[in-house]
Amino acid sequence: MRLFFEPGSVVLIGVTRRMGTGSYNNVQMMLRYGYSGRVFVVHPKVKEIAGVEAFPDVEALPQVPDLAVISLGRDRVLPAFTKCLRKGIKRFVVISQGFADADEEGKRLQVELARLAEDASARVVGPNTMGVVNPFNGFSTAFVDILKDPCPPPLSMIVQSGVFQVGYECFTEGMGKAIDIGNGCDVDFVDVMEYLEQDPQTKVIVLHMEGVKRGRKFLQVASRIARSKPIVVLKTGRSVAGARAALSHTGSLVGEDAVLDAAFARGGVLRVRNMLEMKAACRALLNFTPPVGPRLGVITATGACGIITADACEDYGLELAPFPETVRASLENPRIPWHRLHNPLDIWPLGMVTGSFVEVFTKGVAGLMSDPKVDAILGIAPVLPSPLHADLDMVGAVRELGSTRGIPKPLALWLYGGDQARQCALLAGVPNVACFSSIDEALLGLSALWRCETLRRSLEKTPDFPASPSVRLAPRFTTVESGVVAGNEAWRLLRDYGIPAAPGGVAGSLAHALEISKKTGYPVVLKIVSPQWVHKSDLGGIRLNVFSPVQLETAFAELLALFQRATPDGQLEGILVQKQMQGTELILGIKRDPQFGPVLLAGMGGIYTEVLKDVARSLLPLPAKEEALSLLRGLRGYPILEGIRGGVAADLSGLAQAMLSLSQLALEHPEINELDLNPVIVSPEGCWCVDCRIVLS
């Protein structure tokens, strides 16, 4: 990857002869950006372009360049690429569009491009890309004149659109190294991340992702990098379309975007949802040291904005710190006994009484900084251009604090009043201080900072994410025509993995049903078992509260008649007779994602599962029981499991063990595409699966 970012020589193929406004001449742009290596141009009709010697063909080049940049029409790319390979060139940036981003012919051309590269052990960035920008050595393959940052930040971007390079000031705090992988026919996120992992000029990695290849390898690399370098991702194209045709509750609840959320969390990657959150996160990560917690101290010159901040803290996963009594003692003024201090700390009345807002602000910030129960600070202060308000030099106060006492905790500032740009510029370079354009942006940044730290701590407690499942057994189900497994085969599989099921069995006759119910004891539940009756409750194929043999005989006959009437050509395996269990209904399930492998789902279950959608997801394997319990704690309904209003807690340990067993089952049987345990009944006495369906690949 180093030759993409730091080539000693470059050849550009497909350069326009035009220069100046509207030419989009990447030779001109490369020279303007400051590239000092040797540049060659291939053009059959001219001797030079932008002062750079032009050669009629690649074969005529006096040396083998480190990198070739191809900007031809798509039909001319492969012939030029082949000539470059014959010359011995091994690194390529293919700017050209019209490949997999276009039509079937473009897809074919891209497949052939990737094949040629693989056969020659060459590497390709693109096609459909802006290429590489590296302000540290003045190198750019862009056909747009990008403003070069004279002091680039240690933030590197891996994107799938050149807009992030051209408009970086709108997306991030700044731009260090940046690579647009475009369609990603060869070089992908994993390749670049492994390079940036060892790059001393990169401290923060930002991804714009439209799609990902090598999903599990991506997470393996990300989980290793994120322990020392934060990774931020903006994933676009969120969709649940992939789950619409699912045959199980799990399939409908584990959509593409939900899997990505679980994947990023497992890999320690901070996901942001929009440009505002992305920019706020980058600014915070570049300017602040990690906080030790989410507790925020707020100092404000306006009470209204203190209330706005308090409301927003809850939205962004932060909390107001308890107000330090030491600050109260140093700031409360007997001249205004009605003004009692709390967090947020409103300093306007104090400033009016004492005549020095700066002094009050300085004392307040210093007091919050020194309190161990405050993890970060948000300062809200006016910066007015009028000379009549020269006394409100809050920025000077911050600079003085930084130079004398130091600022050990993140100090986010929102400055208002008309002089923001100039005043914020004065704070550039003050450690642990950053200005934001709004309260929401400041809190988004602080929230991102804390989330990154939480992810990092989580990674330290868990083993590295495996690139592939550790064990695969021979397929267990090979003769199921419908692709759906239920009944005795499904129950045998659960039993083999120690997943507890409600006592019962599948009966082929009334006599057998009576025999089963005698062993389990009443009341019992009766259910139709058939590949055509996947969603039994929707079709009326369940009978609850069967308390006696007489009721069982009636219910058994009703279900048989219903099945014959509704599906006369259906395949009836039998009637499931189960002990009716009491407790809270949950759902456990597995869904196999094509990129990330098996995903475990746990949530509040029953017939309203898809309505409530109170579920949590994790990529498999689950490292340990604690991770299973952590997944359960993420449910809105978790307090029910803990026991509310004096209730007894459910058997959470047994439930977590069932989740670990389900994880093992999923890893060892890749032929299972979906598995649905709904409901799983959990009570203080234990947990039991009472319904199971399996969908094969």
Say yes or no: 53 and 198 in one domain.
yes
Residue 237 pLDDT class (50, 70, 90 cuts): confident
Classified as helix, coil or strand, 396 is helix
Say if 105 falls within a structural domain: yes
CATH code: domain of residue 555: 3.30.1490.20
The conformational region for residue 224 under phi > 0 = left, psi -120 to 50 = alpha, else beta, is alpha
> 257 or 270: whose pLDDT is higher?
270
User: Within 10 Å of residue 571's Cβ, how many Cβ atoms?
Assistant: 12
Query: 412 and 379 in contact (C-beta within 8 Å)?
Result: yes
Tell me the C-alpha distance between 451 and 280, whole Å: 13
Strands (DSSP E) contained in 475-614 are 484-485, 504-507, 524-529, 542-546, 574-579, 584-593, 597-604
Tell me the C-alpha distance between 193 and 199, whole Å: 10
Inter-axis angle of helices 104-119 and 74-87, to 10 degrees? 0
> 357 or 177: whose pLDDT is higher?
177
* DSSP 8-state secondary structure symbol assigned to residue 289: P
Say yes or no: 231 and 308 in one domain.
no
Residue whose structure tokens are 């799938």 = 160
Among residues 558, 579, 600, the one where a domain terminates is: 579
Spatial CA neighbour of 604 closest among 501, 680, 500: 680
Q: For 5, list phi and psi in degrees, rounded to 5.
A: -90, -25
Residues in CB range of 495: below 8 A, 6 or more apart: 501
Judge if the upstream peptide bond of residue 463 is cis by omega within 30 degrees of 0.
Answer: no
Say if 13 falls within a structural domain: yes
Classified as helix, coil or strand, 642 is helix
Say if 249 falls within a structural domain: no
CATH code: domain of residue 420: 3.40.50.261
For range 417-440, the mean pLDDT: 94
For range 507-521, the mean pLDDT: 96
Q: What is the pLDDT of residues 105-115, one digit of tens each?
A: 999 999 999 99
Q: Residue 55 class from Cβ within 10 Å (0-12 exposed, 13-18 middle, 19+ buried)?
A: middle
Q: DSSP string spanning 168-189?
A: HHHHSS--SSEEE-TT-SS--H
Stated pTM of the model: 0.90
* DSSP 8-state secondary structure symbol assigned to residue 620: S
Residue 330 pLDDT class (50, 70, 90 cuts): confident
What is the bridge-based pairing of β-strands 524-529 and 123-125?
A: unpaired
Q: Which two tokens stand for residue 365?
A: 């910030």
**pLDDT higher than 60, residue 239:** no
Helices (H), 248-393: 249-253, 256-267, 275-287, 303-315, 325-331, 348-354, 357-370
* DSSP 8-state secondary structure symbol assigned to residue 60: G
For range 504-516, the mean pLDDT: 96
**pLDDT higher than 60, residue 245:** no
DSSP H/E element including 488: helix 487-496
* pLDDT at 482 (0 to 100): 66
Say yes or no: 203 and 73 in one domain.
yes
Say yes or no: 663 and 631 in one domain.
yes
Share of the chain above pLDDT 70, in %: 96
- Longest pairwise C-alpha distance within the chain: 100
Angle at 618 between CA 613 and CA 621, to 5 degrees: 145
For range 61-89, the mean pLDDT: 97
Say if 676 falls within a structural domain: yes
User: Within 10 Å of residue 421's Cβ, how many Cβ atoms?
Assistant: 10
* pLDDT at 249 (0 to 100): 46
CATH code: domain of residue 135: 3.40.50.720
Say yes or no: 106 and 152 in one domain.
yes
Say yes or no: 51 and 22 in one domain.
yes
- Taking each continuous run of H as one helix and of E as one strand, the counts in the chain are 26, 31
Domain count, the chain: 4
* pLDDT at 353 (0 to 100): 87
Residue 5 pLDDT class (50, 70, 90 cuts): very high
Q: Please, what's the b/e burial string for 524-563 (b: 16 or more CB within 10 A of its CB; e: otherwise)?
A: bbbbbbbbbbbebeebebbbeebeeeebbeebbeebeebb
Say yes or no: 507 and 621 in one domain.
no
Say if 468 falls within a structural domain: no
For range 207-233, the mean pLDDT: 94
Residue 17 pLDDT class (50, 70, 90 cuts): confident
**pLDDT higher than 80, residue 619:** yes
Query: 427 and 414 in contact (C-beta within 8 Å)?
Result: no
Q: What is the pLDDT of residues 124-165, one digit of tens each?
A: 999 999 999 999 999 999 999 998 888 999 999 999 999 999
CATH code: domain of residue 610: 3.30.470.20
How many C-alpha atoms does 361 have within 13 Å on its Cβ side? 27
Strands (DSSP E) contained in 501-573 are 504-507, 524-529, 542-546
Residues in CB range of 21: below 8 A, 6 or more apart: none
| Least confidently predicted of 197-206, 261-270, 330-339 | 330-339
For range 556-560, the mean pLDDT: 96
Chain mean pLDDT for the chain? 92
Say yes or no: 126 and 187 in one domain.
yes
DSSP H/E element including 539: helix 536-539
User: Within 10 Å of residue 428's Cβ, how many Cβ atoms?
Assistant: 11
Say if 194 falls within a structural domain: yes
Q: Which two tokens stand for residue 122?
A: 């060459």
Q: What is the pLDDT of residues 450-491, one digit of tens each?
A: 999 999 999 998 877 777 665 667 677 755 666 888 888 899
Say yes or no: 450 and 560 in one domain.
no
DSSP H/E element including 92: strand 91-94
**pLDDT higher than 80, residue 186:** yes
For range 292-306, the mean pLDDT: 96
Residues in CB range of 251: below 8 A, 6 or more apart: 243, 245, 591, 674, 676, 695
Say yes or no: 418 and 537 in one domain.
no
- Dihedral, CA atoms, 677, 682, 686, 688, nearest 10 degrees? -20
Query: 486 and 557 in contact (C-beta within 8 Å)?
Result: no
**Most confident of the ranges 219-228, 528-537, 608-617:** 219-228
* pLDDT at 247 (0 to 100): 42
Say yes or no: 404 and 534 in one domain.
no
Say if 273 falls within a structural domain: no
**pLDDT higher than 60, residue 243:** no
How many C-alpha atoms does 239 have within 13 Å on its Cβ side? 8
Say yes or no: 647 and 512 in one domain.
no
Among residues 579, 612, 643, the one where a domain terminates is: 579
Query: 514 and 548 in contact (C-beta within 8 Å)?
Result: no
* pLDDT at 484 (0 to 100): 84
For range 654-681, the mean pLDDT: 93
Spatial CA neighbour of 398 closest among 378, 418, 372, 421: 378
Residue 408 pLDDT class (50, 70, 90 cuts): very high
DSSP H/E element including 512: helix 510-520
Helices (H), 413-469: 420-426, 439-461
Angle at 191 between CA 205 and CA 218, to 5 degrees: 70
> 484 or 501: whose pLDDT is higher?
501
Helices (H), 40-147: 74-87, 104-119
Among residues 216, 237, 258, the one where a domain terminates is: 237
Say if 282 falls within a structural domain: no
**pLDDT higher than 80, residue 422:** yes
Q: How far is CA 441 from the centre of its chain?
A: 19
Handedness of CA 31, 36, 39, 45 (dihedral sign): positive
The conformational region for residue 231 under phi > 0 = left, psi -120 to 50 = alpha, else beta, is beta
Q: Note down the domain range covering 662.
A: 584-696
